[in-house]
A and B are shown apart, each in its own frame.
Chain A
Amino acid sequence: MKRGLSPRWLTFYVVSYMIFLYAPVILLPMFAFNDATIIAFPLSGFTTKWFGLLWTTDALHKAVGNSAMVAVVTAVVSTLLGACAARAAARYRFPAQKAVIGFIMLPLVLPEIIVAVALIVMLMQLGLSLSLWTVVAGHVLICTPFSIAILNSAFAGLDQSLEEASFDLGESRWGTFRRVTLPLVMPGVISSLLICFTISLDEFIIAFFLTGTDATLPVYIWSQLRFPSKLPSVMALGTILLVVSVGLLVLAEWFRRRAARRQGKGATSTEGFV
């Protein structure tokens, strides 16, 4: 097939675009290992003291604990809700199906500030105080659509005759679910857990509005950005977070492909990233 646009220019453009995409990401470790309190060039020298400083910051450890708790609960609940929705969408027909699913997916396109404002107004009206649980409530709302998107392909690719065979062989509904359905969609479930965990870990706007006195990690980072002297250790923290996030994503992608392979399909390249 002949090419539409001059490929050399296009390649050059794409390479420049990738440099643009990676510019901030590359700077992060550079400043994290830079032996200077000012975040600017030229770099001074190599040091790991900013990472060392993180070990002794108690407020940070608390924020990490809070974020981990919020992210784990969010991941589990979102994946549970996502699995129900994906299963219902793949297996059953019910009235107003498109509208119902569409509504559950709505937070995907809603500005986060709207979600945050809506939740805080409701909490104010109900007289509930803000805590990490209110953050979880908000995060579940925005993570469930991602979970549905990931699990949709896992459940849609599920061969129904396998479940029917299990029924015919005398398994109960629960037994069929546990021994046939669950193993088949398990990689998708793990992928969804990891993605939801990562999203929750990095989410700032909802957490900013809905945390009470306990800060999550992004809220902690936000509070540190005001102090120039704290910036190098924030860079070190960001570097660690990047490594963790990318690690989790690689893992999630690996599980997603395994799910696709188990169901006898080639791993399609796009789903799961969206």
Chain B
Amino acid sequence: MARGLSREDRQGLTLIGLPFGYALIMLAAPLLMVITFSFWTQNYLDIDRTLTLNNYREVFSQPIYQALLWRSLRISLIVTIVTVTLAFPVAYYLSFHVKRRKALWLFLITVPFWTSYLLRVFLWKVILGYNGVLNSALLEVGLIDEPLTFILYNANAVVLTLAHAWAPFAILPIFVALEKIDRSLLEAAEDLGDGPFRRFWRVTFPLAIPGVVAATLIVLIPTVGDFITPKLVGGTDGLMVANMIQIQFGKANNAPLGAALAVTSMVVVAAISIGIYVAGRKIGGRVSR
């Protein structure tokens, strides 16, 4: 092992050994344990360590788990599309129209993100509620006659709240990608007779794809695992798979089933993420003809 490694190499390895070792012990080992755990079963207070597929059978046969998984994926995908679509023009504005004080703008975008996450979600409940800020404002103005009820305790509220929570994570990667675009390419497109619209779709957007893909993944992956937002603003038809995982580890006291749910959702999300990444590599990153 040591042969072929220079002194430099060994110094590097020693240095990286500490954080890497920590990640191995605290992340790799626990993740492997979760996978093993998902093949065990809960036997009242004990864990039965015979390997079995029972938990997975339950995950894939019980309609409730199926429904929760599909709903989580659907909500997360909608959240991601909404968040990234709403964020793109903001990133575009920052990159192309803000000339000075870009750092200040970026800072202003990240400030709301540093309010306690719990309280931000809770405040959306205050805004969207029956007697909430939005309803009282709309009633006051006379736009509606009675409070809107479709805005809280359902999937819409979850989408809105998460789109808010993940906004900076969507804006920043797209902004970084837009900043990297060589402005002379845009001038070239213009000189060759492209109008602003064509130029955007043929030059700016394809070159921004890596940022859009990064934003998509950064938003999609964690939202599948969120359980606070569904619990606070989602009502019963907004509950997601993470809530079920939490219940299995808590009240239901069936940690192996919870582990199987966690592993299943992780595998599904990983597969989707890889798909998005590969698709992004294929279509983006260069000027289209």
Assess whether A245 is in contact with B222, with CB atoms less than 8 Å apart. no
> Please, what's the 1-or-0 string for A23-42, where 1 marks a CB less than 8 Å from any CB in chain B?
11101100100000001111
Task: Find the B residue at minimum CB distance from A109.
Answer: B221
List B1-19 residues whose CB lies under 8 Å from chain A: 5, 8-9, 11-13, 15-16, 18-19
Q: How far is the CA of A77 from the CA of B240 in the complex (A)?
A: 34
- Which of chain A's residues have a CB closer than 8 A to the CB of B249? 117, 120, 209
- Residues of B in contact (CB 8 Å), total 93
Assess whether B16 is in contact with A25, with CB atoms less than 8 Å apart. no
- Which of chain B's residues have a CB closer than 8 A to the CB of A4? 92, 96, 196-197, 199-200, 204
Q: Which one of A85, A103, A113 contacts B227 once the chains associate, using CB atoms below 8 Å?
A: A113
- Indicate if A124 sits at the interface (CB-CB under 8 A): yes
Q: Please indicate which of the listed interface residues B34, B109, B167, B217 has the most CB atoms of chain A within 10 Å of its own CB.
A: B34
Task: Find the B residue at minimum CB distance from A198.
Answer: B114
- Indicate if B22 sits at the interface (CB-CB under 8 A): yes
Assess whether A137 is in contact with B200, with CB atoms less than 8 Å apart. no
Given A40-B132, A82-B19, A117-B258 in contact, is the A221-B118 Cβ separation under 8 Å? yes
Distance between A164 CB and nearest chain B CB, rounded to angstroms: 13
Given A245-B115, A267-B103 in contact, is the A14-B93 Cβ separation under 8 Å? yes
Assess whether A20 is in contact with B164, with CB atoms less than 8 Å apart. yes
Assess whether A137 is in contact with B26, with CB atoms less than 8 Å apart. yes
Task: Find the B residue at minimum CB distance from A241.
Answer: B116
Assess whether A3 is in contact with B23, with CB atoms less than 8 Å apart. no
Q: How far is the CA of A47 from the CA of B262 in the complex (A)?
A: 46
Assess whether A269 is in contact with B102, with CB atoms less than 8 Å apart. yes
Q: How far is the CA of A110 from the CA of B96 in the complex (A)?
A: 32
Q: How far is the CA of A85 from the CA of B137 in the complex (A)?
A: 51
Assess whether A10 is in contact with B114, with CB atoms less than 8 Å apart. no
Q: Which one of A3, A25, A120, A221 contacts B96 once the chains associate, using CB atoms below 8 Å?
A: A3
Assess whether A110 is in contact with B221, with CB atoms less than 8 Å apart. yes
- Indicate if B157 sits at the interface (CB-CB under 8 A): no
- Indicate if B224 sits at the interface (CB-CB under 8 A): yes
Assess whether B114 is in contact with A245, with CB atoms less than 8 Å apart. yes
20 A-B pairs whose Cβ atoms sit less than 8 Å apart in the complex: A3-B97, A5-B200, A17-B89, A24-B127, A25-B120, A27-B123, A28-B119, A40-B129, A94-B12, A100-B20, A104-B20, A113-B262, A117-B34, A141-B23, A202-B114, A204-B228, A238-B119, A270-B106, A273-B106, A274-B173
Which A residues are within 8 Å of any B CB, using their own CB?
Answer: 1-5, 7, 10-11, 13-14, 17-18, 20-25, 27-28, 31, 39-42, 80-82, 84-85, 87-89, 91-95, 97, 100-101, 103-104, 106-107, 109-115, 117-122, 124-125, 137-138, 140-141, 144, 148, 198, 202, 204-205, 209, 218, 221-222, 225, 234-235, 238, 241-242, 245-246, 249, 253, 267, 269-270, 273-274
Q: A21-B109, A92-B12, A270-B179 are in contact. List 12 more A-B contacts (CB 8 A).
A: A4-B92, A4-B204, A14-B89, A22-B112, A25-B112, A40-B132, A85-B20, A103-B27, A106-B27, A110-B221, A117-B34, A141-B26
